[in-house]
Structure 1
Amino acid sequence: MKLVIGIDIGTASTKGVLVDPASDGEILASTRRDHEMSLPQRGWAEMDADAVWYREIVDILGELAPQADECVGEIAGVCISGMGPCVVQADGDLVPRTPAVLYGIDGRATREITWMTEQLGADTILERCGKELSSQAVGPKIKWLVDNTDGRADDRWYGCHTYVLARLGARWVLDHHTASQCDPLYDIAKQDWATDLAEKVLPGTPLPELVWPGDVVGEISDDAARETGVPAGTPLVCGTVDAWAEAFSAGARKPGDLMLMYGSTLFFVQFLEGMPIREGLWTTSGVERGTHTLAAGMSTSGSLTQWVQKLTGDAPFEKLVDEAGHTPPGSDGLVTLPYFAGERSPIFDLEARGMFLGLTLKHTRGHMFRSVYEGIACGIRQIVDMLSDADTPAKRVFAVGGGTQGGLWTQIVSDVTGLEQIVPATTLGASYGDALLAAIGTGLVPPETGWATADRTVRPDETHRETYEKLFAIYDSLYPATKEQMHALGEL
C-alpha cells in the first residue's frame, strides 16, 4: 500500500496527515505541533526557521512514519506547504542568518517598498507583477535582509516550505505561486522571473529554480532519513503557500471558485479564466500549471477572537461562541473595526488600529465576541465586493479552516455578505491539500483527482439583512473617518 504525507506550517501550528490515495484520500493518521510567532519590535513578525519549522517537520515525520509501517504501507511521497510569502536567508550549509521574516504582517521593509517603487515605477510594477508593492511583497524583505544582515554574496533565500524541503534533501526551488508573491521579481504574464527588474533592485542576488507545486523536487536524503524515519529516496513534492494548498484540498480549482480561509488571518483565493489585474488585490500564479488567481488577505481573524478570549478571562471557546450566539445581530449597537495588527486588504495600512465603537455598560463579552465576528464579516464583504468586479465573478464559495467549526462565524459571514458557502466535510486544510499534491506529483492518482466532499451549505438568513446593511454602512465609514487619528495614536 503506497501512502503519502502532507504537512503544513501555519502561523499557529504545524499539521501533518498520513493519507491513503487508493481509498479516495482516507486519512489514516494526523498530528500537530503548536507554536507562536515572535514580535521582537513594532512592525516585526518572525519565526525561527530551524527550531520551529524544521524541527517540527522532523517531529511530525517521525511520528507519522511508524504509523505508515503499522498500516503495512510504504511512504511514496511527502509534500509541504507553509504560511507565506515568508523569507529566510541561509548560508551554504542551510544555517539561517536571522529569524525568518513572515508574510504581510511583518512591515519592517517600508523604506524598501518606497525605494523599489521609485526605482521601477508603480505602473510598471502593477503591470508586470500583478499588484502594488506592499508589506506582503517578498522583494523588499529580501533587500532589507541584504542591507541589514551580515550575509554573503552566495547566500540563498527560501520560502517557508522550500527551506524545509532543502533541509530534507530537495533542490533549491520555489514554486510559481510563491514566486508570484515575490514582487517585484516575477513577471505574472510570462510566469517567469523578471530578471531585468530583479537586477535593478537586487543586483547579483541569485534566484531559485522555478517549479510548479505538484512537481517532484528531490528525495529524502540519508541524513534526513536518520532524523525522520522516512526512508531515504522518498520523493519530495514542492507544495506552495498554505492558502492555495487549502483551496486545492477543498476542491476550489475551477474558474469562478472562491475560497475563504478562516484561520489566524482571513484569506481569499479566487480562480480565474484570464489574468485580470486589480488595484487592491493580488494577481498570482495558481497551483496548477499555467493558471492564475486573484487573492486578498486580512491581517487578523482567528487571532483576534483568541485575543478577546484572553482579554475577557480565558473562558472556554465554546462558551464564548454560545454567548455570542445568544446576542442579537448587530450586537446591540456595537461595531468592531478588526485592524488590531494593521490591515492588508483592502486598505494596506500597517498603521491602522482596531476599534470597538458603541460600547456601553450593558455590553457583555458575548457582545464583544459577536461584534468581532461581525466586524470581520464586514471586512470580508468589502473584499468580496472588489472580487466581484473581476472578469470571472465568484460562482461557488468554499469556506475552509478551523473557523468554520461550530457554524456561528460562517453563518454571520453569509448573513453580512449574502453569500452561500460550501463547507467541506474534511477540514484538516492545507496539509490535506499537500497530501493530494503528493499523490498527483508522484503519479499515484490522475491530475484531475479531487478528494473533497461537501458537509453542508451555509445560506444567508434574510431576516438579518436590514440590520446588517445598517451595520455595514457604519463599518464602511469608520476607517476613512478615523485614519488620521489612528496614525497619530501609532506615533505615541
Structure 2
Amino acid sequence: MRTVDAEHAALWVGVDVGTQSLRVLIADGTGREVGRGTSRLHSQRAAGSRHWQRPEDWWDAFGSACREATAALAGAGQASSASRIAGVAIAATSGTFLLADEAGSPCTPALMYDDARAVAQAAQVQAAGSERWTALGYAIQPAWALPKLLWLAQQASPPIRAGLADGRLRLLHCADYLASRLHGGPVATDWSNALKTGYDCDLGAWPADVLDRLGIDPMVLPAVVRPGSAIGTVGRDGARHTGLPAGTPIRAGLTDGCAAQVAAGALRPGAWNSVLGTTLVLKGVTERRLADPDGAVYSHRHPDGGWLPGGASNIGAGALAAWFPGVDHERADADAARHEPADRLVYPLTATGERFPFVRPDAEPFEIGGLVDGSDRYAAVLQSVAYVERLCYAVLRRLGADVTGALFLTGGATASPYWTQLRADILGRAVRLPDCPEPAFGMAVVAAAGDGPLTETARRMVRASRTVEPRPGAAARFADTYRRFLDALAARGWISDDLARYAQELT
C-alpha cells in the first residue's frame, strides 16, 4: 500500500476527447495540476444530422497533447519527472464510436455523439427491447450508439455489413480506441461509455436477447468493466507516441459528462454539475434511478453505488462559434450586459434535433421577437442557454430528483465571468466553480482512484475555487422573458403546457 507521501508523489494523467479539441492534464495526488496539453480536432457534417470524425486524428491529437503535457513535467525538473506517472484514464463524448478490424484498425469513420442518422433504427431498437429499456430507464434515441450500429449493419457498404454479420468487426467507443492504441491490443470498455450501446447495468451484461432480435452478433461488442478498473498498460509504441512511460496502468474511463461531474466533486446525493462546453450536460447523484418516460433523462451507474442521472442538450457554447465566428467574446460579453433581458428569444441549435430537456429529433433553431443590434442577439444566446439550463433542472425535479444540494459549474464556458454570473441569476441559485473544472482533470481523479472509492479520492483532490451568488433582483428581471421562452417551446409542442407552468417556479 502506498503511503500518503507516495500517493502525493504519484502523478495521474486524465484525457478528455471533446468535439473541437483533445486535452491532457496531469495532476498529483493533492489535485495540483503539473502539466497539460491540447490539440485541435475537426469534424465533418452533412445533411440528415450526420456528424463524423477520423479516429486517426484522435490518435495524432492524443500524441501531440500528451507530449506537450509530459514536456511540461521535464521542464519542471526531476521532482516532477514523467517516471512518477502512475496511471492514465480517458473520457470521450457519449455515444461516439467506430468499427475496427481484428487488429484494431478503423474500418469506418467515427460516428459522433450527436449524429442522428439512425431515426428508423432507433424505433427498431426501442421495439426490440421495450420492456428491458423501460426497466433500465432508457428511451432509445437516434444519436445513441446502438441504433447507429444497426444503421451500419443495414446501410453501410457490403464489406462492413458482412464484417458485422460474421463478427469480424469490433465496435470501439472513442475512449476504447485510444486505450487500445495506447496499450497495443484490445481493451475492455467501461459501463459509462457502454450505456448508449445498450449495456444492461442491472444485469451487468450486454442484452443478448435484444441483440439477437436485431441480428447483431454479440462478438462485435467489447467486454465491460467498472470505471477505474485496470484494462491494460502503456505499450512500447504507445509510449513512443505519447511520452507516457511504458508499463503505466491504463484505467477504464467515463463519458465526458460524468468526467466533468468528477472534476466538480459532485458525487454525493443531491449534488449536481452543469458542464457547459460545445453542448450543455447536466449530471447529478441519486440513491435510486430516475425513470423518465420521455427518455430525456437517463442514469449511469455510480462507481461507488447509486446512480448518476442527467442528460445532454444539443445547445451550448458551440452556438457562439457557429453564430458569431471570430467574435471577441470578452467585448461581446460586455456589450451583452446592456441587454438584460434581450429583446429577442432564440433556441440556439447548430443542427436539427434536441435530446434534453426534451427529446425532439425534428427540433430546429428559432429566433423570435425584436432585435436591437448584434449584441442583443449575442445576449439572447447567452440568456437562452441559461433558460434551457433552468428548464433542465425543473425537469429533473419533476421526475423526483433532489436538486437542492450544491450546484457546480464546469466546462469551457466558465471562462466567461459574465456568462457564469448570468447563469446564477437565471437559475436563482448560488453556483460553485471548482478550481479545475475540466473533464480531463476528472479523469486524472479516476486514474488515481482506480479500483478504490472514487468519491473519497475526489474529496482529496478536488478543490473549490469560488462561489457566485445571484445578483439582487436578477430573478425578477428575467422572469417574464423566461416565461415567454417556455411559452414558445410549448407553442411548438416541444414541451407540454403543464411543464411550462411547472418550470416557471424557481429551481
TM-score (norm 1): 0.90
Q: In 2, are the aligned partners of 1:49 and 1:99 still within 8 Å (CA)?
A: yes
| Distance verdict in 2 for CA 1:200–1:468, change over 3 Å | same
Amino acid corresponding to residue 34 of structure 1 in structure 2: R
2:338 alignment partner in structure 1: 326
1:283-432 equivalences under 5 Å are 283-310=298-325, 314-327=326-339, 329-331=340-342, 333-341=343-351, 342-360=353-371, 363-394=372-403, 395-427=405-437, 429-432=438-441
1:471 aligns with 2:485: no
1:200 aligns with 2:213: yes
In 1: Cα distance, 2:481 partner to 2:453 partner: 50
Amino acid corresponding to residue 291 of structure 1 in structure 2: G
Amino acid corresponding to residue 456 of structure 1 in structure 2: R
Q: In 2, are the aligned partners of 1:419 and 1:460 still within 8 Å (CA)?
A: yes
In 1: Cα distance, 2:464 partner to 2:132 partner: 39
In 2: Cα distance, 1:476 partner to 1:445 partner: 38
Amino acid corresponding to residue 146 of structure 2 in structure 1: G
CA shift digits 1:406-450 (9 cap, x unpaired): 3222222222222221111223x1110111111121879995443
Q: SS of the counterpart of 1:19?
A: strand
| Distance verdict in 2 for CA 1:117–1:390, change over 3 Å | closer
Q: In 2, are the aligned partners of 1:217 and 1:238 still within 8 Å (CA)?
A: yes
In 1: Cα distance, 2:24 partner to 2:284 partner: 25
1:141 aligns with 2:154: no
1:43 alignment partner in structure 2: 49
- Of 105-114 and 124-133, the range deviating more from structure 2: 124-133
Amino acid corresponding to residue 290 of structure 1 in structure 2: G
Amino acid corresponding to residue 142 of structure 2 in structure 1: S
1:55 alignment partner in structure 2: 60
Q: In 2, are the aligned partners of 1:336 and 1:371 still within 8 Å (CA)?
A: yes
Q: In 1, are the aligned partners of 2:136 and 2:200 still within 8 Å (CA)?
A: yes
TM-score (norm 2): 0.87
1:102 aligns with 2:112: yes
Q: Give identity over the alignment, percent.
A: 23
C-alpha RMSD of the superposition = 2.2
1:194-233 equivalences under 5 Å are 194-206=207-219, 207-233=221-247
In 2: Cα distance, 1:135 partner to 1:426 partner: 33
Q: SS of the counterpart of 2:218?
A: coil
- Of 83-92 and 54-63, the range deviating more from structure 2: 54-63
Q: In 1, are the aligned partners of 2:425 and 2:474 still within 8 Å (CA)?
A: yes
| Distance verdict in 2 for CA 1:289–1:192, change over 3 Å | farther
Amino acid corresponding to residue 262 of structure 2 in structure 1: F
| Distance verdict in 2 for CA 1:106–1:12, change over 3 Å | same
Q: SS of the counterpart of 1:142?
A: helix
| Distance verdict in 2 for CA 1:68–1:446, change over 3 Å | farther
| Distance verdict in 2 for CA 1:445–1:284, change over 3 Å | closer
1:5 aligns with 2:13: yes
In 2: Cα distance, 1:19 partner to 1:340 partner: 34
1:440 alignment partner in structure 2: 449
In 2: Cα distance, 1:482 partner to 1:2 partner: 54
| Distance verdict in 2 for CA 1:338–1:192, change over 3 Å | same
Amino acid corresponding to residue 173 of structure 1 in structure 2: A
| Distance verdict in 2 for CA 1:59–1:335, change over 3 Å | same
Q: 1:481 aligns with which of 448, 467, 491?
A: 491
1:64 alignment partner in structure 2: 69
2:266 alignment partner in structure 1: 252
In 2: Cα distance, 1:368 partner to 1:422 partner: 28
2:28 alignment partner in structure 1: 20
Q: In 1, are the aligned partners of 2:36 and 2:72 still within 8 Å (CA)?
A: no
Shift >6 Å, 4+ stretches = 442-446
Q: Give the count of matched residue pairs.
A: 468
